[in-house]
Amino acid sequence: MTKKTLKMLSILGAMSALGAGYASAVAPDCGPCPNAMFVAKGCETRLVSIGGLITANYQWRDVKDHTFGPTVTDEDAGLEAFPFGDHEDPDQFSQFYMKHVRLFIRAELCDNWGAFLSVDFAGRDRTTYLHRSLLEFNSDDRPIEARRNTIDSDHTCRDRSPLYVDRAYVEKKWCASTFRAGYQKVNFGAEELIPAEYVKTIDRSVATHYFMNLGHRAVAGQYIPGRHNIEFGGGRFADRHVGLYLSGDACNFHYNLAVVNGDQGLCRRRLCKLNNDLGYFAGLAYESCMCDVDVLIGINAGYKPDGASFHRTDANDDGDNAVWGLNPYILANWNCFSFLAEMLYGSVENARLTNMKSDANPWGVNFIPSYMINDCWEIVARVSYLNTNRMGTSINNVLGATPGCGNTKNHPGTDTRNNTFLSSEPQFNKVTTGYIGLNWYTVNHAVKATLGYECAKFKNRFDGPIGGATPGQFVNDHVIVNTIGAQLQVLF
């Protein structure tokens, strides 16, 4: 990769991380292509340009289950207390899928007014979990099978919405500032803010996924696989929101400010006052070139006074639901080598599974180095670490679609009693992942092919009741998830 291209990527990283804008749907080197635009007469509409992104993927995923279930009493089966014991590994997961089928439309009007719309016809990942909303009791006050509302990406196709809006906003530019009103990503998470077409790995990291959903927490209750589970609530802390955005440049400094809905805000209807307080985000960065090294250093911050609210009827809900986060980062390019390093830190009130009256302070780090071997080949690595500070996370919540239906080996009389969803039910306290991949570019980087391998270790599973006088604890067992992925992408 040439030095000019690396500097473009540095500017792209600055724009992405600071919310100053996303990459244009047309290539910056050659300008808009005649076949990809419409020109309207009159001052009100000067240019309408169309572009798109198509990404076809393959994924193989394997889970090694080294967890042990809790000890429970099953009076219906005539059994006293017995351990569920260790589980069989779920079946391997192999599939082709379309990750992105996006259409971009950009309109340029007179007086520096404009608009942008990006729609993805491949749908988007939903937050995945197994939700058993209500427990039913018999005359002896013993729980029986609960009513189930399953949204679990390891065995259904309901983990993706059929269509979603990626970005939609009106913008006004003047001097070195840009004002936007509409729907886009807020300024938090440097890896998250890089546009999908320029992400060097196949998927973003577990730390990034977790902090996009920061504020999801558990309902007080009893965690027993297959009996009662964990419910997540609240809107996404970061990611996309409807609101007002302001960004700009002053010398080598870049700034951004945003006031957004507490939830993502594409719907007008709310459930009472469910997570409807506004959220606030800001960022500041400094860009410099020292000894042929392009460096961008900055910090993003966000605060939602009601960011963790959700419907809850127990006495532990005292209305303290604030969420805030900090995101320092550094992006550097030197010759053919580049890296992105960032830390994500947050605070969620009343969120620890071991004590619902105690605040959680999760944190994570990402380190992503890359090296261009020549103009076509690039090697990429990533190390990501997440510590939820006893708030917990499921495998599906941070890793995506993962096989999770395994049977207990040593249940008395049968090996199919505890048919649990490993990927969505158990909550883990810590996650460590390592990624290595190879990228191939052609046609001025408009076409990219990627092959990558990632190993993730989920440690310290939560076992027992949530909160309460004698809450459960995070126990010392783990799950290993191995993933091989391939991706072919065209940006036009």
The structure tokens listed for 34 are 């005649």
Task: Give pLDDT, residue 433.
Answer: 98
Say if CB 63 and CB 403 are below 8 A apart: yes
Q: How far is the C-alpha of 209 from the C-alpha of 275, rounded, in Å?
A: 20
The structure tokens listed for 421 are 């969803």
Q: How far is the C-alpha of 341 from the C-alpha of 430, rounded, in Å?
A: 19
Q: CA 319 → CA 43, 124, 275, 351, 470, distances in Å?
A: 52, 31, 11, 12, 23
Strand stretches in 109-209, DSSP E: 113-120, 129-137, 143-151, 164-174, 177-185
Q: How far is the C-alpha of 209 from the C-alpha of 362, rounded, in Å?
A: 13
Give the distance between the most distant pair of CA atoms in the chain. 82
DSSP bridge pairs for 484: 60, 453
Q: What residues contact 443, with CB distance under 8 A and at least 6 apart?
A: none
Strand stretches in 403-446, DSSP E: 405-406, 420-421, 428-442
The one-letter amino acid at 268: R
Q: What residues contact 132, with CB distance under 8 A and at least 6 apart?
A: 146, 147, 148, 149, 227, 228, 229
The structure tokens listed for 223 are 């965690």
Averages of pLDDT over runs of 10 residues in the chain (492 residues) are 45 45 35 50 78 96 81 42 61 90 94 94 58 37 37 42 84 94 95 94 96 68 39 66 94 94 69 68 94 93 81 51 94 94 94 84 97 96 96 88 67 48 84 98 94 97 75 88 97 94
Three-class DSSP labels, 227-281: CECCCCCCCCCCCEEEEEEEEEEECCEEEEEEEECCCCCCCCCCCCCCCCCCEEE
Say if CB 193 and CB 21 are below 8 A apart: no
Q: CB 162: neighbour CB atoms within 10 A? A: 8
Domains of the chain as residue ranges with CATH: 3-491 (2.40.160.10)
